[in-house]
Structures are given as C-alpha cells and as structure tokens.
Amino acid sequence: MSPQTDQTCTHEQEFMARALTHEADAIARVAKRVDEGFVKAVDLIVGCAEQGGTVLVSGLGKSGHIGAKISATLASLGIPSHAVHPTEAAHGDLGRFRKQDVVICLSHSGETEELVNLAAILRQDNLPIIAITRGVVDGSPESALARLATVVLAVGVVGEAGDGEYLAPTSSTTVALAIGDAIALAAAKRRDFSHADFHARHPGGQLGSLLRPAMELVRFTAGENLPIANESDTVSKALHEASKVVRRPGALLVTDDTGKLTGIFTDSDLRRLVLSNPDDLEKPMREVMSRDPRCLAGDAKASDAASMFREYRADEIPIVDSEGKPMGLLDVQDLIAMKLVRESS
C-alpha cells in the first residue's frame, strides 16, 4: 500500500470516527433533555394499549423508515402498532384510525405537508398525537406539526453528521429512532412486559432460541439417560453403570447421599486419570471429580447457557433444581447445533 493510500485511509477513518461521534453526541444531548413530555408520551402509549388501541406511526421518506422501525419495536414489546404512509392515509387508510388509538408523527422539520395534513385531520377527531420533530432550536418558530401535537419530543439536532458537508439525515434520524426506542421500552417496562412475553412474540430465529428454557435443549435428563454416580462409588463402578446408557453424555454427574450435585467427571478427566495411573480407577469419585461445577438453575434460559459457555469454556453444563439436585446435562454441541454459540467463540 502506497503512502498516499495510507494517508487516504487515515483521513477516512478519522472522518468516520467523527461522524460516529457526532451522532453519539446528538443522542447524549437529547438524553439530558428527557422531561415530563417523554413521560406523557409513555402515558398515551400505555393508555392506548390498555384500551385495546393501536399505536399508528407515520412519517415520509427517511422519517417513514424510522417510524416503521419504531412501530416494529412497539409491536415486539406487546404494544399493537402499525406504520401508516401519510399520503396513503388520505386515500383510504384513514379508516385504520380509531378513537382509542394514538399516533406518532415523525418529521424533522415539522413542516412536511402530507404529514401536517394528516395530523390536522386526526386532531379534529381528537386523536392524541406524539410528534417527534426538531423542536424549537436557536429561536426558530414552532412548527406546524408541533402546534397540532398533544406532546412534542424534540430531536434538537441542528447539523447532521459529516463535518457539516452533507445534508442527508443522519444524526437527526438516529436521535429520532433512539427517542422511539426509549419511549417504547419505558412503556413496556411500565406494563411489566417480561422475557416470557417477548419470547412468545419471537419464537423463531436465534433470538427466539436464546429465550427458550435451557431444559428444552437438554438431551440428557436425570432419571432417563443421564448417568449419575455417588461420591463413594469407585470410578470403575461409575463407568460400568454409565455404560448401561446407550448414548451417554461426555460427563458423569456426581452427587452426595442427599442427591445434591457435588461434582462432575468428564471424559477428559478419565483420559488424564488412565494415562496418569490406571490403578486410580478404583478410587472413589470424590477423589477424582471436579468439585462444585458451575451449573444453571432449572429456570435458566438458553442465553444463560450460551453466556456460561463463552465465559468459562465449559463443554458440559449441569442443570439443577432449587435443591441443587441434577435435572439434566446440557452439552455445548446442543448450543452449537442451534447456532447459539460457535466452536471458536
């Protein structure tokens, strides 16, 4: 690579770093201006959802794309929502708006004609309007959309990212999206929307798999096909009992006389023991097992198992009940098969 190319790369890297910083700073500024208006917006959204209404989101151009994402986020958090094109609304889609609904309108200038016309109609029908718009900046007059809105959430962005060289919406759309995410999350939190609720709406894909109970992924279950040895059993006896299982896991779980998990003995442990001293096969399990293995609670999610694998590189993860007794053994290959972790991760 030539010196000139190196210099070009350096300048581009610096430019992109500044662009990212501009957008991050824009979000940081609006975070300092979160006021009662944001709370009122959440009030409207929660009230709408509780009354069986729908949060309808509308914007034109890039604001429309941001609005569609906000609508999708609301829906994924258990709040019925649809994106509505402001022009199409005037050609039949106004029938989607009901008295129990709430509308989120996005326009950075607040003067987008199609959106202002829609907001004016909805205002006449007494529908609450949440406007995400630039707001009053440097003495600029209040926009038409802001005057029609029930509550205004100001983006407050004057200049876009890119050292002021470009007018393309960047920082403004990023902040608008962040505001939408913030009020959506706050509404879900107030409604006690849980991981279980989220999973019910995301059964497919990797996200759905991560939210599944870890026990649903287990192939080796206590009382069925999971060998469990007692601390006092010799290694040879434990292996003999384990051999009765047609397809056994890569580890034996070891318990005390109360049935509580106290250790784990893996195939790797067995290889090391045999290579070191085959006579150790007659030792009790308590002398050769790995004590107090890291394990998961019975109500753990697959995401918890994936995190444990990444952090501790454990190939087998015991799952225990509230009394510490084995329920099952999760093999890392099960997580790999579900594409929740990678062998190299």
Model confidence at 98, in pLDDT bands (50, 70, 90)?
A: confident
Given its phi and psi angles, is residue 192 left (phi above 0), alpha (psi -120 to 50 degrees) or beta? left
pLDDT band (50, 70, 90) for residue 93? low
pLDDT tens digit string along 50-84?
Answer: 998 999 999 999 999 999 999 999 988 888 899 98
Q: What is the pLDDT of residues 4-34, one digit of tens each?
A: 566 667 888 999 999 999 999 999 999 999 9
- Between residues 305 and 295, the one the model is more confident about: 295
Q: What is the Cα–Cα distance from 275 to 268, expressed in whole angstroms? A: 11
Q: Give the pLDDT confidence score for residue 202 in this predicted structure.
A: 45
CA atoms lying within 13 Å on the CB side of residue 27: 16
Q: pLDDT at position 102, please?
A: 95
Query: Quick one: tokens of 56?
Result: 């309808």
Q: What is the dihedral of CA 199, 210, 42, 92, to 10 degrees?
A: -60
Q: What's residue 30's pLDDT? A: 94
Cβ-count burial of 160 within 10 angstroms (0-12 exposed, 13-18 middle, 19+ buried)? buried
pLDDT at 345 over 50: no
Give the C-alpha separation, 148 to 123, whole Å. Answer: 7
The enclosing H or E element of 36 equals helix 36-50
Predicted confidence at residue 210, as pLDDT, reads 58
Domain 3-193 has CATH 3.40.50.10490: yes
pLDDT digit string, tens, across residues 182-191: 999 999 999 8
Q: What is the domain partition of the chain in residue ranges?
A: 3-193, 214-337
Q: How many CA atoms lie within 13 A of 59 on its CB side?
A: 27
C-alpha distance across the termini of the chain, in Å: 32
Q: Is the pLDDT of residue 332 over 70?
A: yes
* 198 has a pLDDT exceeding 70: no
Q: Which residue has the higher pLDDT, 193 or 256?
A: 256
The bridge status of strand 251-255 relative to strand 228-230 is parallel
Where residue 307 falls among pLDDT bands split at 50, 70, 90?
Answer: confident
Name which CATH class applies to 214-337. alpha beta
In this prediction, what percent of the chain has a pLDDT beyond 70? 86
| pLDDT bucket at 242, cuts 50 / 70 / 90 | confident
